[in-house]
Structures are given as structure tokens and as C-alpha cells.
A = this chain, B = another copy of it.
């Protein structure tokens, strides 16, 4: 028998702590990101859990070890923390550096990287970048994008928790799809067929009956055959659903509050990453403008001359035009578009009693792209059953979902934000694969 204790282990010294340790001797671990040999010795840039640390080692007595250094070696170094002024935005902390007395090798790679990982910008072809993902993500800028995405996810969670929402976890293996249509993955589930969740929609509505306000941060799966820069087949959906709403605009109001909290979190926690990536955070003003789909078509017609009146959705070109219009006219990089037609929205969407044929649903556009879909849902059992029938669906196959309505639901609604898309738009990245750790698309299942 042995006794294991927690040893008071609370993690390696952080970048912020190092900045206040001038004069101290420290021993720390890291992987070698870059080496710069100079006449007097070398700069050795270590990759650590929370940033890159600049280490300095003179030649004297160290020639042998300096000659052995290569990128991606895992090392333990001991040295003295000294003041420095580092301009390289990829290095953090940038006010101190470590003057090394010793380097010990902990483990060595079997091969050197097949691409130059020491460049400021890793300008690989997207396929090479993704094929080499376990390596390419070690580049500071690639890693920084993931950090931004995680900070957004965490800010979404904190913002909603602060507004009385409860986090839930809903099944990803389902007996029916929430969004309908053919874009659903089939799975062999023991002796029958099942599906991968396209959205937690049904479950978060059930959640309204349980906790009144719920949210989920989790994977969703869409079997969309499009191979575009804005589609991946597995992505992270930031979902919430709330009861006792006064109308569908209350959901939009909550989204504004969340977005503001998200941008505040990025400013607070990702200043290093945002600077490294040259990202411009959007300003969330007091209000976000909102137009109906009909108005939206009228606006784009005025700008481009192309008449989309009557089209049930916006085309990608219109999304771009509308964002430019919103920025110029209302100084907002965000724009809500509401009142999509009934037939273009899922069966659980509530129709607008004042505008028959249209729904109390909305999209949020941001920098030329739709990043949110939301709306008010039907809460009345009979109304929902009737709409299912009108959509040619058999209410019997949605029996377990309809329990929520049958046994009572308050007026409610919610939305879903695509995390990778939002991150890409904030960072000005064209391809959402680059804001995904290991993206899945029609052609890609590895790494």
C-alpha cells in the first residue's frame, strides 16, 4: 500500500507570475519552438502551457549543448529571470526572459518537422496545415486561434450562468433529427438505425420545462455535402433556450448581452492572442439594427440592382451587402434579419400572428456571414401537432418530444451560435477549418 497525496500541485508557473519574478532562479519545462544562434550564444524560445518564453544562453561552456538543440525537443531549463523588452508579439511574457545556467533533455522527437515551424506566419496550404494538424497547431498563431475559440465558449457559458441559465448535456445519438431533411448522419445502433444530433433543439425545449433557462455547448453533426470554406460537418453549437419570454425580441436582447460579455472576455483574457493575430474586435453598441427579410431584399436591391424579392432566404452575396449597409448606415458590424417565411423554418418555429406566412425567427449576420439562427418556438401542444401535420410529419413519431408541450411549456425561444464561424469572423479568418482543432468535412476524417 502506498499513499498518494495531492502534493499541493497547482500547475507550472504562469507567464503572469514570471513577470513578477525578476532576479529569481527558476526551473521550468517546455518544448523548443525556435532557436536563434548568434555569435555570443543563442536565443531559445520555449513553448509552454500558456505562452512562449524567451531564454538566453551564452556560448561559454555551453557549446556542446547548444549544438544539440533542435526544435520540438522537450527540455527542463534552469536560469535567472531578468527584465527584457521583447517586441515579437508571439512571445509572452514579453517583459522578462530567462538567462539559462543549464538545459536538460527530457525527450527528443524522432524526426524534424517536414515544414518550417519557425516562421512568423505559418503560410502552409490549407490541406498541408490540416494533414499536419498535431504539428501545425504548435505554431503560436494556430494555437492562438483555438485559445480565442475556447475563451468565447467559456464566456458564453459564464454569461448565461450569470443570467440564471443551467447547463445541460443532451444525447448526440437520436431516433430522429431536429432539423429534418437529408443532412443527417445515420448510425448503426445495435439492431436498429439511429441518427447523429443535428442540434439539441428538442432536448433544450424539454429543458425549458425543467429548468426554465438552459444552455449547452456541444458538438452537432450535419451531413451537408458542401465543400466550402464556411461548412464543416461536425461543429460546436452554442445553444440556449429560455422560458417566459415576452416575445422573440427578448431572445435577440439576450444575445446582445452575451456578445458583449464575450467581447469583454476576449479583451481581458486574449489580448496577447488578438495582438498576435492582428484581430479587430467588433464594437457591440447599445443596440443592434434589425430588418425583416422583406426589408433586407429591398435594401440589397437598392444597392446591387439584383431583385431577390420573394426569395425565402438570403443568398451569400446579400449577406455581405447587408453587413456593409449595416456598418455604413448604423455603424454596426452586426445585423439581425427577421421574419423568414414559414416554409423555410423548422416545424417548431412560431408563426407571426401579425404577418401570416412569416415566422418569429431571426438570423444574426456578422461581417458578411450568418453566425446565429434563433426564434420563438411553439409552446402549445395542439398548435404544434397541427403544424407538424401541415408539414407532412406524423406527430406519432415525435411523441416523446411532444410530452414537453402536452404537460405544459411556457412561451419560449432560443438560438444557436456556430462557435467556429463566430471565431473565424472575429479573427478575420476565411476558412472555418482554421478555427477548428481537428475539422471534419466531406473529404477529411483525419487526423
Contact = CB atoms under 8 A, between A and B. Distances in A.
Interface of A: 1-7, 9-12, 14, 29-31, 47-50, 72-74, 76, 106-113, 131-135, 137-138, 143, 146-147, 149-150, 153-154, 162-175, 185-190, 192, 194, 196, 202-203, 206, 209-213, 218-219, 221, 223, 225, 233-234, 236, 243-244, 249-250, 252-254, 256-257, 260, 286-291, 295, 330, 336, 379-382, 400-401, 403-411, 437-440, 442, 445-447
B11 A162 contact: yes
Most buried by B among A12, A170, A295, A411: A12
Given A107-B408, A189-B445, 13 more contacts: A3-B288, A6-B256, A9-B254, A11-B163, A49-B164, A107-B409, A109-B406, A110-B405, A110-B406, A111-B406, A131-B400, A134-B403, A146-B168
B1 A289 contact: yes
Contact of A260 (B6, B11, B166): B6
A9 B287 contact: no
Contact of A249 (B4, B74, B112, B170): B4
A108 B380 CA distance: 8
A108 B175 CA distance: 28
Nearest to A260: B6
B257 A437 contact: no
A150 B167 contact: yes
Nearest to A332: B3
A211 B172 CA distance: 27
Q: How many copies does the complex hold?
A: 2
Nearest to A439: B171
Given A109-B381, A110-B405, A163 B10 contact: yes
A245 to B, nearest CB: 10
A177 to B, nearest CB: 13
B134 A206 contact: yes
A146 B211 CA distance: 10
A438 B138 contact: no
Contacts of A244: 12, 29, 74, 76, 106
Nearest to A135: B407
Nearest to A259: B6
A261 B143 CA distance: 28
Contact of A173 (B12, B254, B440): B440
A185 B110 CA distance: 34
A142 to B, nearest CB: 8
Contacts of A404: 134
A190 to B, nearest CB: 6
Contact of A287 (B4, B164, B187): B4
B186 A166 contact: no
Contact of A137 (B210, B221, B400): B210
